[in-house]
Amino acid sequence: MERKQKVYELICDERFVPMKIKEIAIMMQVEKEERAELERILEELQEEGKIERNGRGKYRKPEKRSLTGIFDATAKGFGFVEVQGWQEDIFIPANATGGAMHGDTVQIELLPGKKGKRREGIVTAILSRALTEIVGTYEKSKNFGFVVPDARKLFQDIFIPKEFSMDARDGQKVLAELTDYGNDARHPEGRIKKIIGYRDDPGVDMLSVACAYGFAQEFPDRVLAQAERVGKEVSEADRAGRMDLREICMVTIDGEDAKDLDDAVSLTKEGEIWHLGVHIADVANYVQENSALDREALKRGTSVYFPGSVIPMLPPFLSNGACSLNAGQDRLALSCLMDIDEKGNVTGHQIAETVICVNRRLSYDVVKKILTGEDETAINEYKELIPMLRQMDELAKILRKKRKQRGSIDFDFPESKIRLDENGRPVEILPYERNDATKLIEDFMLIANETVAQDYFWQDLPFLYRTHENPDPDKIRQFAILIAGFGYGIRAGKDEIHPKELQKLLTRIEGSAQEGLISRLALRSMKQAKYTRTCSGHFGLASAYYCHFTSPIRRYPDLQIHRIIKENLHGRLNEKRIGHYEELLEDVAQQCSRMERRAAEAEREAQKQKKAEYMQAHVDENDQGVISGMNPYGFYVELPNTVEGFVHVGSLRDDNYSFDENAYELRGEHTGKIYRIGQQVQVRVLGADKQAGTVDFAVFCEEQ
């Protein structure tokens, strides 16, 4: 006890600086054979909350008991708080949420830790509310009503006084504005702001998702008027002072249904040098800083893509019209013109304001058919472009090989393509496979993004970078344990892993039954990429310099750096403007990262709902799938069409299953039957809930 008190007093001393256990042992003259005892004392003090250990393994007195973070609610009432700089979220029991709702910024107080358990806390203050509006179903009573939220993480109904109901009818989907957040004794209150429609009306489901995530389909009148005012055809005055590339042969290559075409490519070769042009719509010419258009674009941050529809960042008059690089029309562009040698090295480049005229619009499917030689009709129709397309394919493969050599990770698992009928109902779900045509455009956009980022890093000017931090070592270790069950391994150091190790793994699993699953598990083990003012590199691409330059029609960060580039080209980046951007960019980076995450969540929710709706028409059908996830209550199975459903333990013949969280397997105690991640199983569709976006399966052979 005396030793413990001495250690505690040492760490509490105001002259003490954070130290590792070895340094503390030296200071206290602890002999080697007594180091284990010192470690035990430090662990006890940490568990009691009297000291803490920082991310570098150094012990110190807790700097503060209060922490600030984002509250992540669950449908069962409890939640977690994500604190920046902490590797693990803080658990908040249901009786300690303090009335916090999902997404709120909260202040919490840590409770004393217990060995081997996640840290717990209580919410002491709600600093800011994330939700001001909620989408749900209106339930009408005689003198009042309630809105039952769609979001499963919002577990309280919203009370609606009759005078604020907008005469909504029972069962209608509505958007409610919160006027009072309630407390432990009473429900939150609100007023109906918009009646969306009945649940089964065409388009209501996707409109509900858009409203729930705060993405407005309509633009303010002022923004629309400004878009029409600035979105004129290219004039002689617009072309003045720009590099004229209208005689250069170039094409756009996009999906069949794309309307916002923001990149075109051109390629020629002289001797051993390729001249690659990546030409990007000059949106900054039309969207001036701090204009109504600009403020609305920053507010949205990104375009959002739902099955069968898109919520654009810019009004269609610009995104599909004046800014879109439509074939045969003069367009203003910002071009990155690169000289590339036969090893894939960029030996020289120029970034310039240009005027271009795209020769042909091509689709990924058409280019794929041309490159594989499988479609004579396409070959004949585009015969004048075939030499350039074949050269593009050749250069793309050189660039891809170079990226692979440095360790760039190429995730190649199928995404979903959901085909809808005229009423918006899903009629087919297909895995959207990448091919040489999609990879070609990816390769060219990547090299342009890297080239621009490297240029502005060395100019030491304010800029917005796309960064991707190294993965958390604990998550990589957990991932290594999981894939060991499939017979695969990765070499990881104590604190880090090189992206080349993950790349080698993905190469080894290519073509295997577990390829899609392991690729997703690898992706989940990494951190999210984000936008930052500082250039700290991109782990996944194994690139020291990276930014988003190539999609200003649908991403605000690209539009932001276009402004900086254009001012620099015109020599207007004086000390005042540099100071302006240094002050501005941190907020822009955070807003863009935040809206990117929100858009991704909305897109996932939309896809889940459409997949569940599709599976409602396939109840009682059987299919082969792969176990893609697992918990003590059952396991997830992914079908070849990318639909994922859940098999509940209770539906298995031996319902007394134990879950091994280290091996990620469920074992039946009576039958000895084992289910593991990556295992192939035949399942029957039990049912699907479109609103919840869930599908329930049963293992077919168990039923027999």
pLDDT tens for each residue of 76-115: 888 999 887 676 788 999 888 888 888 888 989 888 765 5
Please determine, for residue 597, whether its predicted confidence score (pLDDT) is greater than 50: yes
Residue 590 is predicted with a pLDDT of 92
Does 7 have pLDDT greater than 60? yes
Residue 77, pLDDT score: 83
Q: Are 260 and 319 in contact (CB under 8 A)?
A: yes
pLDDT value, residue 561: 98
**Is pLDDT above 60 for 116?**
no
Which tens digits make up the pLDDT trace of 504-558?
888 888 777 677 777 878 888 888 999 999 999 999 999 999 999 999 999 999 9
Rounded CA separation 151/129 (Å): 16
Residues 594, 590: Cα–Cα separation, whole Å:
6
User: Which of 146, 119, 124, 126 lies closest to 62, judged by CA?
Assistant: 119
Average pLDDT value for residue range 20-40: 84
From residue 56, alpha-carbon distances to 52, 87, 472, 475, 579 in Å are 11, 12, 13, 17, 34
Residue 565 has pLDDT above 70, yes or no: yes
Out of 158-172, 202-216, 271-285, give the one with best mean pLDDT: 271-285
C-alpha 538/C-alpha 530 separation (Å) is 10
The pLDDT of residue 704 is 39
pLDDT at position 117 is 67
Residue 48 above 80 pLDDT? no
- The answer to whether residue 703 scores a pLDDT higher than 50 is no
pLDDT above 90 covers what percent of the chain?
A: 54
Is-above-0.85 flag for pTM? Answer: no
Q: Is the pLDDT of residue 136 over 80?
A: yes
The pLDDT of residue 392 is above 90: yes
pLDDT tier at 46 (50, 70, 90 boundaries)? confident
Average confidence (pLDDT) over 359-382: 91
pLDDT band at 37 (very low <50, low <70, confident <90, very high): confident
Residue whose structure tokens are 């302006």: 580
Average confidence (pLDDT) over 237-244: 95
Please tell me which residue, 635 or 101, carries the higher pLDDT value: 635
Whether the pLDDT of residue 580 is over 80: the answer is yes
Strands 530-532 and 674-676, bridge-based pairing: unpaired
pLDDT at position 497: 81
Q: Among 302-316, 336-350, 661-675, where is mean pLDDT lowest?
A: 661-675
Backbone angles phi, psi at 304, to 5 degrees: -120, 130
What gap in Å lies between CA 304 and CA 596, rounded to an integer?
A: 9
How far apart, in whole angstroms, are the C-alpha atoms of residue 287 and residue 297? Answer: 9
Q: What is the pLDDT of residue 27?
A: 85
- Spatial distance between the Cα atoms of 305 and 254, rounded to a whole number of angstroms: 15
The more confidently predicted of residues 432 and 610 is: 610
Bridge partners for 278 per DSSP:
265, 336
Residue-wise pLDDT tens digits, 329-344:
999 999 999 999 999 9
What is the pLDDT, as a whole number, of residue 55? Answer: 65
User: What was the pLDDT predicted at 669?
Assistant: 81
Contacts 24+ apart (CB under 8 A), 183-191: 183/99, 184/99, 186/159, 187/146, 187/156, 187/157, 187/158, 187/159, 188/156, 188/158, 188/159, 189/158, 189/159, 189/160, 189/161, 190/134, 190/147, 190/158, 190/159, 190/160, 190/164, 191/160, 191/161, 191/164
Task: For the chain, list the domains and their CATH numbers.
Answer: 2-60 (1.10.10), 66-128 (2.40.50.140), 133-199 (2.40.50.700), 221-467+539-606 (no CATH), 473-526 (no CATH), 618-703 (2.40.50.140)
What number is the average pLDDT over the span 572-589? 95
Q: What share of the chain is helix, strand, coil (3-state, %, to 5)?
A: 35, 30, 40
248 compared with 27, residue with greater pLDDT: 248
The pLDDT value recorded for residue 23 is 86
pLDDT of residue 132: 86
Mean pLDDT score across all residues of the chain: 89
**At 654, is the pLDDT very low, low, confident or very high (cuts 50, 70, 90)?**
low
The token pair that represents 283 in the structure block: 């949106």
- Kind of pairing, strands 634-638 and 644-648? antiparallel
Question: What digits encode the pLDDT tens for the residues 427-480?
Answer: 999 877 778 899 999 999 999 999 999 999 999 999 999 999 988 887 888 888
| Long-range pairs of 61-66 with CB within 8 A, sequence gap ≥ 24 | 61/11, 61/12, 61/16, 65/109, 65/110, 66/107, 66/108, 66/109, 66/124
Range from 126-135, 200-209, 512-521, 673-682 carrying the lowest mean pLDDT: 512-521
The whole-number pLDDT of residue 59 equals 85
